[in-house]
Structure formats: structure tokens, C-alpha cells
Amino acid sequence: MACSTTCKQCTSKNSSTGHRCKNKTSKWSPKCHVHREVEIKPSTLGPNSGKGVFAIKDLKRNTIVGNYKIGTKKMSSPELDKHYPGDTLAEYVWSAPGNTEHYDARQKPRPVAAMFNACREADKRRLGCKKKAKISGEGLVVLNQGVKKGEEIFIGYGNNYFK
């Protein structure tokens, strides 16, 4: 893995040998792409909802399940305005606190952090889905409650996204 930030060794260990994985990951994610706790598959929101992020195993609160700073294009506010002029919706963009740094994940393949769906009010009533993760000020997608194996993980897109 070529890192634009400091790389480190994956923290996962082989259960039979006890040896640590030799893959590299960024300082923002303790596990490499092979040992993450989530997978991408069709969303439970319906056929027009694309793909979502699902737990591969039961996960505890505060587990990091994505990082918006990995695999995205960092932009300044003027660059963001150029790519998304006027009222154009900046899909797949996360803005750091203070709105001075923006991370655009619209290129493909998209990083895991850009694949989380939001559960709108209508979806909550129809499907009973619930926001179970948030994006921290550092761009990490962190569970704010536990998630069961096979469950789709939803985040909030912000108050103005669906307006």
C-alpha cells in the first residue's frame, strides 16, 4: 500500500499462528483491507438504493469502520466550489470541521467510508432502520452503538442533505 500519510502494520493476528498480518495500513485505520469488519453489498433500503456497508461480525460501540481521508481527493474550499458550483449537491464529499478541508470520494472505486447509506425518516418508519455510526472530526466512521453480524450500518448525511 502506498500511503500519503504515515503507514503502519495491520494489527490483525492469525488465529492459528499468532503472527501479525504483514499488510500495511494508514495511521487512521488499525486494520488493512483484508481484515476490516465490514463488507459492501446491495442495500436493504431497496433496489434503487445502490450498495451499503454491512457488518461481517458483531461489532461493539466505538469500532472504527471507515476513514474518509483514505482513498479520497483532498480539496480546498475554492476547489470544492469549482467542482460543485452553485447549488450542486456535493455527493460523496465530507467536510472537516471548520469547512477548510474537503474530501471527495466520487471517483471509483469508492472507499468504504463513502458507501454508508443514510436512513431517512420515511425509511425509519418503513424499515425500522437507525443511524448507528457517525463521522468524527478526523473523518473516521465510528459506531455509536453495537451492530450485529449481517446488519447494514447507517450514518447521517447532515441536516441539509435531503432538502
Tens-digit pLDDT string for the chain (163 aa): 455 556 778 877 777 788 888 877 765 566 776 677 888 889 998 888 888 999 989 999 999 888 888 778 899 999 999 999 988 888 888 888 887 889 998 877 777 888 898 887 767 767 778 889 998 888 889 999 999 999 999 988 766 565 5
11 and 90 fall within a common domain: no
Looking at residue 159, its pLDDT comes to: 61
* C-alpha cell read off for 7: 503507514
Looking at residue 50, its pLDDT comes to: 86
3 and 73 fall within a common domain: no
Contact 53, 46 (CB under 8 A): no
Closest-CA residue to 112 (of 54, 73, 60, 46): 54
Give the range of the structural domain holding residue 99, as residue numbers without chain letter. 36-155
48 and 87 fall within a common domain: yes
21 and 44 fall within a common domain: no
12 and 91 fall within a common domain: no
Looking at residue 1, its pLDDT comes to: 46
Looking at residue 33, its pLDDT comes to: 64
In a domain, 161, yes or no: no
21 and 89 fall within a common domain: no
In a domain, 163, yes or no: no
- In angstroms, rounded to a whole number, what is the distance separating the alpha carbons of residues 129 and 70? 27
- In angstroms, rounded to a whole number, what is the distance separating the alpha carbons of residues 101 and 95? 6
CA-based torsion, 34, 49, 117, 77: positive or negative: positive
In a domain, 160, yes or no: no
In a domain, 11, yes or no: yes
CATH number for position 144: 2.170.270.10
Give the angle 21-25-30 at the CA atoms, nearest 5°: 75
Domain count, the chain: 2
102 and 142 fall within a common domain: yes
Q: Which amino acid is residue 43, in one-letter code?
A: S
Looking at residue 88, its pLDDT comes to: 86
